Amino acid sequence: MNDAVDVGRVVGLWRYPVKSMGAEVLPEADISWDGVVGDRRWAFIRDANSHNGFPWLTLRDRADMASYRPLLVDPGRPDTSPTTVQTPSGVDYDVTDPALAEELWVDGARAIRQGRGTFDTFPLSLITTQTIARIGELIGHQLDALRFRPNVLVEATAGLPFVEDQWVGRMLRLGSVRMRVDKRDGRCVVINIDPTTARRDPTVLRTVATERDGCLGVYGSTVTPGRVAVNDPVLLEGGA
């Protein structure tokens, strides 16, 4: 592992205690076999649709879900901590409170806990600042990184967009974590939603589809659990 090369540095870390709800900004993160500890351990399921292949209540259904702010009551125990949610109007609920579920989905919903997290594909997601900036240039305005809901934001040493695509099939070191980059991140309509205003802009997904075959950023999985912090170097094993 001595032939690793510096390909960037970590400039942002997030976890999402409740799937599709607001992000928790982290100065450092413990990463387990199941991704960032405490990430997406709760999700809301739409009872009326629980028989299909995607039963989760997400931003696809409610564009303002990112305005609901989960809070881990005991952040020192993120995988077992009680979780509350503050609504956009400032009301605090326990994540399991039926009143919160009713506010979110009038036809009935319920919160469930998934010990290994509720992920659409792989437990870790990573994107570079240059990739986000380039898509913003193509669209004509700056984009918030949280529109793409990553766990790790990297400023690439190369200074070029889409460099993370070249890391697929390779191993990254971030702090004491080793992450295998498994595949490009296939995007859906969620990236059309501004995480602050909840407004939808279909040109975002359309641009990603035409310019990048519908993919932006990468998915990965944990090979060596550990801790990563903002400003840690990102090293690519096996040389350039």
Between 115 and 21, the more confident residue is 21
pLDDT tens track for 45-69: 987 555 556 789 999 999 999 999 9
Parallel, antiparallel, or unpaired for β 233-236 and 171-174? antiparallel
Name the packing angle between helices 203-212 and 129-139 (round to 10°).
Answer: 110
Residue 38's contacts (CB-CB under 8 Å, 6 or more residues apart) are 15, 17, 72, 78, 79, 81
Domain assignments of the chain as residue spans, ordered by start: 5-236
Backbone angles phi, psi at 75, to 5 degrees: -65, -15
Question: Mean of the pLDDT values across residues 95-105?
Answer: 93
- Indicate the pLDDT class of residue 169, thresholds 50, 70 and 90: very high
pLDDT at 120: 84
Structure token digits, residue 221: 């999985």
Measure the CA–CA gap between 194 and 204, rounded to whole angstroms.
10
Q: With contact defined as beta carbons under 8 Å apart, do 34 and 177 qualify?
A: no
pLDDT tens track for 189-221: 999 999 999 999 999 999 999 999 999 999 999
| pTM (2 d.p.) | 0.94
Q: What does the H/E/C string look like for the chain?
A: CCCCEEEEEEEEEEECCECCCCCEECCEEEEECCEECCCCCEEEEEHHHCCCCCCECCCCCCCCHHHCEEEECCCCCCCCCCEEEECCCCCEEECCCHHHHHHHCCCCEEEEECCCCCCCCCCEEEEEHHHHHHHHHHHCCCCCHHHHCCCEEEEECCCCCCHHHHHCCCEEEECCEEEEEEEEEECCHHHHECCCCCCECCHHHHHHHHHHCCEEEEEEEEEECEEEECCCEEEECCCC
pLDDT at 81: 87
Q: With contact defined as beta carbons under 8 Å apart, do 149 and 16 qualify?
A: yes
pLDDT at 239: 66
**Span 5-236: which CATH code?**
2.40.33.20
